[in-house]
Chain A
Amino acid sequence: MIIISTFRYYILRRLILSFIVLFGITIITFTLTRVIPTDPAALWVGPHARKEQVELARETLGLNKPLYIQYFIYMNDLLHGNLGISIRTHRPVIEDMLTFLPASLELIISGMMLGIIFGIPLGVFSALKKDSHIDHFNRIASIGFASMPSFWLGMILQLIFFKHLGILPAGGRISPNVAIFSPINRITGFYTIDCLLSGNWTALFDVLSHMLLPALTLAAYPMALATRMIRATMIETLEEDYIRTARAFGIPDRIINYFYALKNAIPPFITILALSFAYSLTETFLIEYVFDWPGLGRYASLAIISVDYPAIMGITLFIAFIYLFLNLIVDVIIAYLDPRIRLR
C-alpha cells in the first residue's frame, strides 16, 4: 500500500478536481455560444448578407454539424489557442486579449495593492481598538465603500478631481503630448515599469497621474474586504485560549498582537488577495469603460455593447481559467501554511 502524505494527497485531489472543472467550464462557455438567440452565421456575415452567404458562413463555421462534433472542434481550437475572430476588430480574439492584458494587469495590481496596503493596518487597528469610535467609523466606512458601484465611484472621482479641482486627468493611460514628445519604450507593456527602466520621468509622472483615479476606484472593495476580514480574524484569534495563556505568561502585548495573533491572519490574507483579484478581473470591465483605460476590461465592455460574441466568450473563458488557477494556488498555499494539514 502506498502511503502519501496528507499534503501531497490534497494537492493531487485538487489538481484532478480542477481538471474536471476545467472541462466543465469549456462546456458551459460552449453552451453559451450555441444558446444565443441570433444565428451565429448571420451575425458573422453581417446584417446585409444574402441567404447564400449566410449558408456559406454556416458551413465554414461548422454550424451544421452535430453538437458534439462542434464541441470537439471548439476544444481543438482552444487547445491551439484559437479563440475565434472578433466581430468588432476583425482580429483574432487571443491577439486582442494579449495586447490589452498588460494595461489591465497594471491597473488591477496597483488597485489591489493600494486597497490591501491600507486595508490591513486599518483592520488590525480596528480589531485592537474594538468598539471604540474609530472602530465604528471604520466599519461603517468599509461597508459604505463596499456598497458603492464601481462605475459610480469612478464617475464621482472624475467629477471631483477632474472637473472641479482640475488636478487629475479624466481618462486614458497617457496624455497625448507626452506620448508624442516622451514616448515610452515598450519593454514589458507595463507603462510604469517601462518608464522606470528607461528613466523616462516625465512619462512616469504622467502615467501615474492617469492611473491614480482608476486605481483608487478599484481599491475601494479590496480595502473594505481586507479591513473586515482582518478585523474579524484578529478578534476571533484574540479570544482564543492560547492568547490568554500567552498573556498569562507575561508575553508583551506587542508580540502577542503583531506576531502570535497576526500569523493566524495569513490564510485570510491569501483569501483576500484571491477575492480581490477575482473582483478586480470583472469589475475592471466597468472601471476601464468609465476611465477609457485601454485594457482588457474596456475591450470586454465594448465587446458586450457591440454584441461581439467571439470576443465575449473568449474573455469569459480566459478569466474563468485564471480564476480557477488562482483558486487552486490559494488552496494549496493555505494548506501548506496550516501545519495541521502539512505535517501528518
Chain B
Amino acid sequence: MESLLEIRNLKVEYHTYEGVISALDIEYLKLQKREILSLVGESGCGKSTLALSILKILPPNGIIKNGNIIFDGLDLVKMNEEQMKKIRGKRISIVFQDPRASFNPVFTIGEQITRVLITHKNLSKKESLQEVENLFKMVGLPDPKRIINSYPHELSTGMCQRALIAMALSCKPDLLIADEPTSALDVSIQAQIIELLRDLKNKIETSILYITHDLAVAAQLTERIAVMYAGNIVEIGNVEDIYDNPLHPYTYGLLKSIPKANTAKLETISGEVPDLFNPPSGCRFHPRCPYAIEVCKKQKPMLMNITENHSVSCFLYSEKNE
C-alpha cells in the first residue's frame, strides 16, 4: 500500500518568554492509505503539536525548524498559507478535544458545517444543507434538521462531537486527525464515539491518525500504535506486537501501569516528565529508564526496524542489529 503521510526529521519549537521549548523531534513516521494509526503518549509529549504541525496551524510562537511532512507527494512544510488553505478541511481534517469549544457559540451548527462545504466544494446553500443531513445520518445523529438549527450550547457534548466528526468528514478527506476526541467526554459517550469511529473506519476511505493518552482506547480502535515520549517517537508497531512484546522501556512501563482487575498495587514509571526547555541529553527517556546504559546519556538513539512492522528507538537493541 502506498504511504499517505511521511514525516522525516521534523523539529518543532515554541518560542516563549522563558526560552525555547524543543517540542518535537521526530525522526520518521509513516501512515499508509486507509490505515488507522494511534499516537499514544502522556500529556505534554507533543502529540497535539504534531497534529497542529501537519496542518500548519501552530500558534504564532510555534516554528517548524526543519523537516519534511510529505503528504501524498507534497511537502507540507514547504507550502505557503494559500496552498495550505486548499488542503485544510478538504484533504486533511482534524477533530479536536473539546467539541463544544470547537464551534462558534453565536452561530448555528448548520451554518458552520455548510460554511466548510461552501468553501471547499463550492456547493450552494441548499445543496450543502442536504449534504449535512446525509452526514448527520452517517454519524448517527437523530433529527438532523433540529441539530442544524441548534446552537452548540444546546447540544450535549456527545452530539457536538458527532457533529464535529461529520464536519471533518464532510469533504471526504484523505486524512483525519483525531486529537484526543474522547478525552472530554464521559466514559459512556466515549464508548459510543469509539464505536462510531470503528464503524466509519469500514465505510470510508479516510486514513485516521488517532491521538490519545489512553493505550487501551488505542488498542480498541486501531491497527498500529506509535508511542511518543517528550517529542520523540520511541516505538511503532502493530497492536499485537506492542502488547505482547513491548520493546521500549517506556512502552513497557505504560503497559505495566494499566490497572487490571486484580491489581493490588499500581505500577508507575518513576521520575517526572522532562523539562523541554532543557531536554535531557541523548535519549530523552534516560533519566527515568531502569535499563539506561552509558551511551543513552550521550547520543540520541535512531529508529530501528526490529521486525518488518515493529520499530523502536532504543540503544538496548542496537547491538542485536549490528
A and B touch in the complex (CB under 8 A): yes
User: Which residues of the other chain, A, contact B104 by a CB distance below 8 angstroms?
Assistant: 242-243, 246, 260, 263-264
Of the candidates A243, A248, A337, the one whose C-beta lies within 8 Å of that of B89 is: A248
Cβ–Cβ < 8 Å partners of A176 in chain B: none
B96 to chain A: closest residue by CB: A245
Interface residues on A, range: 20 to 34
Q: Does A251 contact B (CB under 8 A)?
A: yes
How does the 8 Å CB contact mask read for B84-116 relative to A, with 1 for contact and 0 for none? 111111100110101001111111000010011
B120 near A245: Cβ-Cβ < 8 Å: no
Contact of A339 among B102, B151, B167 (CB under 8 A): B151
Residues of B within 8 A of A338 (CB): 106
Min C-beta distance of B60 to chain A, whole Å: 9
Q: State whether A242 touches B151 (Cβ < 8 A).
A: no
Report whether B88 and A248 are in contact in the complex, using a CB–CB cutoff of 8 Å.
Answer: yes
Cβ of A241 under 8 Å from chain B: yes
- Judge whether B87 and A248 touch: CB under 8 Å: no
Contact of B103 among A242, A247, A250, A251 (CB under 8 A): A242
Which residues 254-288 of A sit at the B interface, judged by CB distance below 8 A?
Answer: 255, 260, 263-264
In the bound complex, residues from chain B placing their C-beta under 8 Å from that of A260 are 104, 107
**Which residue of B85, B107, B116, B153 contacts A263 across the interface (Cβ within 8 Å)?**
B107
CB-defined contacts of B102 to chain A, threshold 8 Å:
241-242, 245
Q: Are A241 and B151 in contact (CB under 8 A)?
A: no
A-B contacts, CB under 8 A, total: 72
Question: What distance in Å separates the Cβ of B70 from its nearest Cβ neighbour in chain A?
Answer: 20
Give chain A interface residues in 194-247, CB to chain B under 8 Å. 240-247
Q: How far is the CB of A337 from chain B (nearest CB, A)?
A: 8
Q: Say whether B24 faces chain A, with CB atoms less than 8 Å apart.
A: no
- Determine the distance from Cα of A272 to Cα of B30 in the docked complex, in whole angstroms: 53
A172-199: CB near B (< 8 Å → 1, else 0) gives 0000000000000000000000000000
Q: Are A242 and B101 in contact (CB under 8 A)?
A: yes
Measured in the bound complex, the distance between the Cα atoms of B119 and A252 in whole Å is: 8
**Cα-based distance from A118 to B164 in the complex (angstroms):** 38
User: Which of chain A's residues have a CB closer than 8 A to the CB of B88?
Assistant: 247-250
Asked whether any CB of chain A lies closer than 8 Å to the CB of B55, the reply is yes
| Residues of A contacting B86 in the complex (Cβ-Cβ under 8 angstroms) | 250
Q: A264-B106, A339-B151 are in contact. Are A248 and B57 (CB under 8 A)?
A: yes
CB-CB < 8 A to B84: which residues of A? 250
- Known contacts A250-B120, A251-B116; is A263 also within 8 Å of B106 by CB? yes
When distances are taken between beta carbons in the complex, the residues of chain B under 8 Å from A340 are 105, 151, 153
Is B205 among interface residues, defined by CB-CB distance under 8 A? no
Interface contact A251-B101, CB-CB below 8 Å? no
Q: How far is the CA of A339 from the CA of B84 in the complex (A)?
A: 33
How far is A139 from B85 in the complex, measured between Cα atoms in Å?
Answer: 32
The 8 closest A-B pairs by CB, nearest first: A249-B89, A250-B88, A250-B89, A241-B101, A245-B102, A242-B104, A339-B151, A250-B85
A-B residue pairs in contact (CB < 8 Å), sample of 25:
A240-B101, A241-B98, A241-B101, A241-B102, A242-B104, A242-B105, A247-B88, A248-B88, A248-B96, A249-B88, A249-B119, A249-B167, A249-B168, A250-B86, A250-B87, A250-B88, A250-B116, A251-B116, A252-B119, A255-B115, A260-B104, A263-B104, A340-B151, A340-B153, A343-B154
- Which residues of B are interface residues toward A (Cβ below 8 A)? 55, 57, 84-90, 93-94, 96, 98, 101-107, 112, 115-116, 119-120, 151, 153-154, 167-168
